[in-house]
Amino acid sequence: MLTDLTIAAARDGLRAKEFSAVDLTMAHLHAIEALNPRLNAFITVSHARAVDQARAADVALAAGEQRALTGIPLAIKDLFCTEGVRTTAGSKILAPFVPPYESTVTANLLRDGAVFLGKANLDEFAMGSSNMTSAYGPVENPWKRRQDDTAVLVPGGSSGGSAAAVSARLAMGATGTDTGGSIRQPASFCGLVGVKPTYGRCSRWGVVAFASSLDHPGPFARTVQDSAILLGSMAGHDPKDSTSAALAVPDFEAACRRGVKGLRIGIPREYRSDGMPVEIDALWQQGIGWLRAAGAEIVDVSLPHTRYGLATYYIVAPAEASSNLARYDGVRFGAREKGLDLRDLYERTRAEGFGAEVRRRILIGTYVLSAGYYDAYYLRAQKIRALILKDFTDAFGKVDALLAPTAPSAAFAQGENMDDPIQMYLNDLFTVPANLAGVPAASVPAGLDANGLPLGLQVIGKPFDEETVFAVSAAIEQAASFTALPSLRAGG
């Protein structure tokens, strides 16, 4: 089936004229038609546009012009502004919003010939770890518990639609964003590779902002090599984002073939939490064994402030969000509620347009930034953030990369972890520190739990050394030989 191909294999098949770009796109559009009503992975399917882009790809291929992603059908998280295609951020408040411009990351993908199938579902404004906060309904994880295939599991979040789409073979790859784990945790829950590059590697221009100092665009794919191909296209310096790094984009795909011989891999002891399920700890130990067998040296390291990462995050992220989301005022774009006066218009628009989790975070952020509380909360959090970065800097003085679990559990069912916001926040325990420090990290599918659900291992690297992250990820992928498939998939 065309929908089972990797991006690398599809690239070869297109070059060899074994099938056309239109064939490849149509196969995915048919899969979306069949499965999206159930999975709800896409908020918007841009059928006609995708076919046009695929036709253009065939014209280019016939002329012997093949770029990195010519004719490759992708899903785009509905947080990336796409010119002329509605962009909702999973929120009611942006329901009517059609961007008059294209985000830099998606423009880069289009430059390289990609086909966009549509806009993937997500937690509202990327705030969530289950895709349950989307105003466009939850997403179903294509994976099922072996013992109970009636339970509807979450795909993780916030990039839940992107992960479900790639996992179920509705798209060959997808864009996501990772502010506290929103690429790596859904990748782990859906048996995919997900990469959060270094802060500054991918431009944030045109990505709906949640927490600007923590937001990282990155790719989802079914193999490490495919994720390297995608990141190579998405990355690059952008003068329109003042935090974009003026660095050349390395050959990430070549880095996948480097191997790990002679690399020093740190095992951060603080990532071993008391409540960690036995099978996740066992998988971690197995990963350590794989890397050692492949020639890496294993080193015990300490990141002493790890346990404070999550609470620090829940000051910094809401603070930045409360400021970024101030723009949704019902005046210039987005939904508007009628008001008696301007203030009433603002207050009704924002009460009606934002869901419960978004409102909660705006209020927390407003409080920690307010007069009299700024030093006690926000300034303290920024100082602890400095300590967390120092933990990584110290560790990377001794090792080339770190290996840890991605998430503290496998995918849970819709409705679980919903009673208490903090229970949901704990999903990001192992992913948040890399966002606070801005270092690159990837999740690689490494095994299954007793229910037959995928579990990921996380590789964390030095700033702007994604190449080592890809090399280590590829070594884990090779050793794990993860071949399990989700129950719900195209042709499945």
Partner 1 sequence: MSLDHATVRRIASLARIRLEDHEVEPLCHELNGILGWIEQLNEVDITGIAPLTGAANMAASLRADVVTDGGYPDKVLANAPERIGDFYVVPKVVE
Residues assigned a catalytic role: 77, 158, 182
Closest among 148, 156, 108, 149 to 132, alpha carbons compared: 156
- 267's enclosing H/E stretch is strand 264-268
Cis peptide bond N-terminal to 233, omega within 30 = no
Residue 79 and residue 207 in contact, taking contact as beta carbons nearer than 8 Å = yes
**Interacting stretch for partner 1, rule CB under 8 A, among 32-40, 74-82, 113-121, 342-350?**
342-350
- Region from 228-236, 262-270, 394-402, 417-425 binding partner 1, contact rule CB under 8 A: 417-425
Find the binding residues for partner 1 in span 181-210 (CB under 8 A).
Answer: 198-200
Say whether residue 374 binds partner 1 (CB under 8 A). Answer: no
Query: Which of 350, 429, 444, 458 touches partner 1 by CB under 8 A?
Result: 350
The site that binds partner 1 (CB under 8 A) totals a number of residues, namely 73
Amino acid present at 480: A
- Cα(423)–Cα(92) distance, integer angstroms: 25
DSSP summary character for residue 250: P
Assess 235 for contact with partner 1 (CB under 8 A): no
Four-CA torsion 120, 79, 187, 479, nearest 10 degrees? 110
Query: C-beta of 251: minimal distance to partner 1 in Å?
Result: 22
How many whole angstroms from its chain centre is CA 10? 23
* Interface with partner 1 (CB under 8 A), residue from 360, 416, 485, 487: 360
Q: Cβ neighbours of residue 427 under 8 Å, at least 6 residues apart? A: 129, 130, 156, 181, 185, 407, 408, 409, 417
- At 153 the three-state DSSP class reads strand
Among the listed residues 27, 437, 453, 490, the single contact to partner 1 using CB under 8 A:
437
Judged by beta carbon, residue 87 or residue 225, the one nearer partner 1 is 87
Binding of partner 1 at residue 246 (CB under 8 A)? yes
Residues 441-460 that bind partner 1 (CB under 8 A): none
Q: In the set 80, 116, 136, 377, which binds partner 1 (CB under 8 A)?
A: 377
Taking the CB of residue 418, how many other CB atoms lie within 10 A of it?
Answer: 12
Q: Where are the alpha helices (DSSP H) in 63-201?
A: 104-111, 160-167, 184-190
Q: Is 386 in the site for partner 1 (CB under 8 A)?
A: yes
274 binds partner 1 (CB under 8 A): no
Cα gap 304→173, rounded to integer Å? 36
Of 288 and 389, which CB lies nearer to partner 1 in the complex structure? 389
Tokens matching residue 383: 């100082």
Q: Is 248 in the site for partner 1 (CB under 8 A)?
A: no
Q: Does 49 bind partner 1 (CB under 8 A)?
A: no
Q: Which stretch binds partner 1 (CB under 8 A): 17-25, 95-103, 108-116, 444-452?
A: 95-103
Chosen residue from 248, 340, 397, 483 binding partner 1 by CB under 8 A: 340
Question: Which one of 160-168, 419-427, 449-457, 474-482 is the stretch in contact with partner 1 (CB under 8 A)?
Answer: 419-427
In total, the chain counts a number of residues equal to 492
| Residue 62 binds to partner 1 (criterion: CB under 8 A) | no
231 binds partner 1 (CB under 8 A): no
